[in-house]
């Protein structure tokens, strides 16, 4: 590799990475606090330096070229490692400890993050880096100490420790139930149904508890995030099948009412994923702590 190849500035790389992630100069500008034209200029500077187009301009939108996609895939990992390296240096300079955690977005927002204050109180000198990640990744390459995984025991290169089952329940808002009284499971299927696009089989699983019904359970509204379904269900839009860990606040407040349970049948569970080898003391303590936080439904 030639040593005289100039390295683009961090600001240029950040602009490209954000634009690639959003496929939008406007969205990247909003994230970075810049103007749309400013992001466009930075990307053009990178294209000139590389000597290749990184985006195709399509009307008012943009799309990554082959060269842009290749660079984007590598650059995300590079910037993540760089951020971690700098954070570790800052922590070391302040005699702080650092723990990097990756978790499923909705699980992190609604269950993990609200509890982290209690964990951090155990280690006043511990700094946390929390990332939202939905799919398995290379923990060592990304420099991540602990990750929360949902699925089967299928994370290559990681040690998986069972955390808890998913515990799915059927829920609806009180106003919807009042307008449509429920006396048996068959009545639930007469409500408007809310679906997770990645798991369209859940209502079919619940339908098995009402074998005599002929209701078409695939009808209804579909969402690509649990957070969206939670909002829709709490707003009275329909009945939903949701993990209890994601709706603790709504169940406790009465914003959602449990109508029944569902056996998914997929064998999927929550796991703690850690890199091979011995864990750092903060990571080992976090694993012990989080396993004590989960409560299993009887």
Contact 193, 223 (CB under 8 A): no
The pLDDT of residue 138? 86
Instruction: Output the six-digit token pair for 238.
Output: 């329909």
**pTM for the whole thing?**
0.66
Residues in CB range of 267: below 8 A, 6 or more apart: 152
The pLDDT of residue 53? 93
Other CB atoms within 10 Å distance of the CB of residue 42? 25
Name which of 74-78, 260-264, 269-273 the model is least confident about.
Answer: 74-78
The pLDDT of residue 64? 92
Q: What is the pLDDT of residues 131-189, one digit of tens each?
A: 888 888 888 878 899 999 998 888 888 999 999 988 899 999 999 999 999 999 999 99
Contact 154, 278 (CB under 8 A): no
Contact 246, 107 (CB under 8 A): yes
Contact 13, 46 (CB under 8 A): yes
Contact 39, 12 (CB under 8 A): no
The whole-chain average pLDDT of the chain stands at 88
Q: What is the pLDDT of residues 3-50, one digit of tens each?
A: 566 788 888 988 998 899 888 999 999 888 889 999 999 999 999 988
Nearest-angstrom CA–CA distance, 143 and 97: 14
Q: What is the pLDDT of residues 243-258, one digit of tens each?
A: 999 999 999 999 999 9
The pLDDT of residue 233? 97
Q: What is the pLDDT of residues 79-138, one digit of tens each?
A: 777 776 676 666 555 556 789 999 999 999 999 999 999 999 988 888 898 988 888 888
């Amino acid at each position: 590799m030639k040593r005289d190849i100039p390295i683009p500035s961090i600001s240029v790389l950040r602009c490209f990475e954000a634009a690639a992630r959003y496929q939008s100069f406007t969205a990247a500008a909003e994230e970075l606090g810049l103007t749309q034209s400013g992001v466009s200029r930075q990307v053009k500077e990178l294209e000139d330096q590389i000597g290749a187009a990184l985006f195709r301009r399509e009307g008012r939108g943009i799309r990554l070229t082959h060269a842009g996609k290749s660079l984007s895939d590598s650059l995300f990992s590079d910037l993540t490692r760089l951020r971690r390296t700098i954070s570790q240096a800052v922590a070391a300079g302040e005699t702080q400890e650092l723990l990097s955690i990756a978790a499923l977005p909705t699980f992190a927002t609604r269950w993990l993050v609200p509890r982290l204050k209690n964990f951090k109180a155990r280690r006043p000198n511990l700094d946390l880096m929390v990332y939202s990640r939905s799919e398995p990744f290379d923990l060592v390459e990304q420099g991540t100490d602990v990750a929360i995984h949902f699925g089967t025991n299928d994370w290559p290169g990681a040690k998986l420790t069972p955390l808890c089952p998913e515990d799915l329940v059927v829920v609806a808002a009180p106003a919807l139930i009042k307008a449509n009284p429920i006396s048996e499971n068959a009545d639930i299927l007469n409500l408007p149904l809310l679906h997770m696009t990645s798991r369209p089989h859940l209502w079919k699983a619940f339908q098995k508890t009402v074998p005599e019904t002929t209701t078409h359970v695939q009808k209804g509204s579909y969402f690509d995030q649990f957070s969206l379904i939670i909002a829709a269900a709490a707003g009275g839009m329909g009945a939903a099948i949701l993990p209890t860990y994601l709706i603790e606040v709504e169940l406790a407040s009465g914003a959602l009412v449990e109508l029944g349970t569902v056996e998914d049948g997929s064998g999927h569970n929550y796991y703690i994923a850690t890199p091979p080898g011995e864990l750092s003391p903060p990571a080992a303590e976090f694993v012990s702590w989080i396993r004590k936080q989960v409560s299993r439904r009887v």
